Amino acid sequence: MQAEGIDTRILAVTDDVASASRDEPAKRRGVAGDLLVFKIAGAAAEAGLDLDAVEAVALRANRATVSFGLAFDGCTLPGQSGPLFTVEKGHVALGLGIHGEPGIRTEQLVPAADLARMLLQPLLAERPAGHGGRVAVVLNGLGRTKYEELYVLWHHLSGMLAAEGLTPVEPEVGEFVTSLDMAGCSLSLLWLDAELEALWRAPADAPAFRKGAVPVAAPGAVRKLAPALAAPQIVAGSAASQAAGLCVAGLLSRVATALAEAEEELGRIDAQAGDGDHGQGMARGSAAAAAAAAGAVADGAGAGTVLALAGDAWADRAGGTSGALWGVALRAWGQALADAETPDATTVAQGARDALAAIVRLGGAQPGDKTLVDALVPFVEGLGNRVAGGQPLPHAWQGAAEDATAAADATAALVPRLGRARPLAERSLGHPDAGAISLALCARVVGAALTDPDRA
């Protein structure tokens, strides 16, 4: 969007106190505090604040939001026969993730009053110095928790909050941020100031969240609707670039087929310390990218536009962090290829460098963090060095894919330093990173197609 002249901002919610210490707030992941932060941001936008002001108030809300969760059982991913993880009978898992990632530790199951204390105590430790005591509160069920049980917890929590001198402002109790079939709950607090309180209390009317009374237009009034986003206008590429675009679309189709076949295995790898949905996301994203590329080719797009639109579709359909990263990578790569002529090996290698830069800029990962960057860096360096040494693109790509594969396998010896897997770092040790493995797989598929199109 920025590249198209549309001012956009990215806000990473970081409310989970279980995922990093108070001294490293930027390394925390987002959990049910998403609801509070997004509600504040939406109310600010509805009030007419400009983008800078909306971003500023959303960042302040994020800094003031803390959450902690517990689970009695794991969630089930669609299409899977069993839960992502299990909790031993008579125990409770503490510090779970928003997508159903396992907790950071388990403890004996205790009565409701003690569970309420488990939820609240880690949040009280984060109370800002001198705070007046007014808090927005969300007690959130995870998808398979009876409302009666949530209300029992709320009964205990309300007394504990009062004993700590805290006043809940329009608290919410219900299921808002859930994982399929997951039994458990989370507690979120937002330390309010006057502006944040006004925005929290402002009316809202969304499909799954309503607060207060939203004004209704007068009878007969015509509501002005925002114009629908128009489909991207495709400017025809040169004949040579159109031919290259057809090749790009074919490669993406092969990648999509390979990722669909690897979906279950990638999910299994991801489930070691993540939410187990990496295979699903990669399969959905690549299928959407392949379809978008085919459509762009039919409309006469050149190679750069084909790859850029494929990236947009990947990000839109895959969801999650990996979807966004693949989206910006393919768009950056496409911009390097352009639509005027057939991309040569040097241009392709430059596109790979641009894609890596876009991923690092968006995600912040570096080699050693146990992410797809650990496989992408050796791929990009290997491709660039081989092309600079005079190797033809197919052989240079295949060699770089081998570099990426070795690096991806080597991530088994690393522990994650970023992302949702970070709180479960020890569980990840001995298992490769799913994002690195899938990237290496994609590189190998493209390499095989380039060196032997009939065999790939």
Whole-number Å distance between alpha carbons of 95 and 217 = 44
- Give DSSP secondary structure letters for 326-363: HHHHHHHHHHHH-SSS---HHHHHHHHHHHHHHHHHHH
Closest alpha carbon to 166 in 128, 127, 207, 135: 135
Identify the residue whose tokens are 């290698």: 349
Distance CA 202, CA 218 (A): 20
Residues 84, 102: contact at Cβ < 8 Å? yes
Enumerate residues 6+ apart whose C-beta is below 8 A from 79.
280
- φ/ψ of 188, rounded to 5, equals -125, 140
> Three-class SS of residue 121?
helix
Cα distance between residue 94 and residue 100, in whole Å: 12
Burial 51-70 (b: 16+ CB within 10 A, else e): eeebbebbeebbebbbbbbb
The answer to whether 142 and 101 are in contact (CB under 8 A) is no
Q: Single out the residue of 352, 349, 403 nearest to residue 375, CA to CA.
A: 403
- Would you name the residues annotated as active-site residues? 99
Contact partners, residue 408, CB within 8 Å, separation at least 6: 374, 375, 432, 433, 436, 437, 439, 440
Amino acid, single-letter form, for residue 194: A
Rounded to whole angstroms, the Cα distance separating 405 from 427 reads: 22
State the Cα–Cα distance between residues 313 and 293, nearest whole angstrom: 9
Tokens describing residue 210: 């309503």
